[in-house]
Amino acid sequence: MKRICFAALMLLLSMASFAQKLSPDQILGIWQCDEYKIEIFKSGNSYAAKLLWAKDLFEADGKTPKKDTKNPNEQLRSRSRQGITHITELMYKNGEYVDGKLYSVQDGNTYSLKGALKSINELETRGYKGIPMMGKTFRWKRVQ
């Protein structure tokens, strides 16, 4: 029993040690979940992401990117959804990514965003309005 407890403690300590070794820039790169593919990049002192792919990114022909028709700014409604920077102002604080803004091309709304690296190749983000509990979680796998 003591050996099992000791092994469990060592496993927890090694996981905590690994989490502490991840630098904030480990979030940089291309990430994919079931619905989206994004590229996260550094933007000044914060992080941002552009939309590379989404389930509903193209028109019925499968080739023509849809337009940003729900954008509250009428001047931006004719731009392509593909490649837009839809995550901005994501800051790294105390081991988490917080205070981000997520622009949704599906409804034209901007949501708050937070996230955390679960491992070098796993990212979890949560977009929400108001309180995080009322949001949606996305689990991402690193592509590059």
Domain for residue 111, yes or no?
yes
Domain for residue 104, yes or no?
yes
Decide: 110 and 103 in contact? Cβ < 8 Å: yes
Specify the pLDDT at position 22.
78
Q: Which two tokens stand for residue 40?
A: 């996260």
Query: With the CA atoms of 96, 137, 52 and 40 taken in that order, what torsion angle do they form, in degrees rounded to the nearest 10?
Result: 0
Domain for residue 95, yes or no?
yes
The H or E element that residue 14 is part of is helix 2-21
Decide: 30 and 143 in contact? Cβ < 8 Å: yes
Total domains in the fold of the chain: 1
Domain for residue 126, yes or no?
yes
Q: Are strands 96-103 and 110-119 parallel, antiparallel or unpaired?
A: antiparallel
Domain for residue 10, yes or no?
no
Domain for residue 14, yes or no?
no
Domain for residue 66, yes or no?
yes
Specify the pLDDT at position 131.
86
Specify the pLDDT at position 20.
55
Instruction: Give φ, ψ of 27 to 5 degrees.
Output: -75, -15
Asked whether the CA dihedral 65, 69, 71, 77 is positive or negative, the reply is positive
Specify the pLDDT at position 133.
86
User: Residue 118's domain is classified under what CATH number?
Assistant: 2.40.128.520
Domain for residue 118, yes or no?
yes
pTM for the structure as a whole: 0.82
Q: Which residues in the chain show pLDDT less than 70? A: 1-21
Containing domain of residue 105, as a range? 24-142
Place of tokens 């509250």: 72
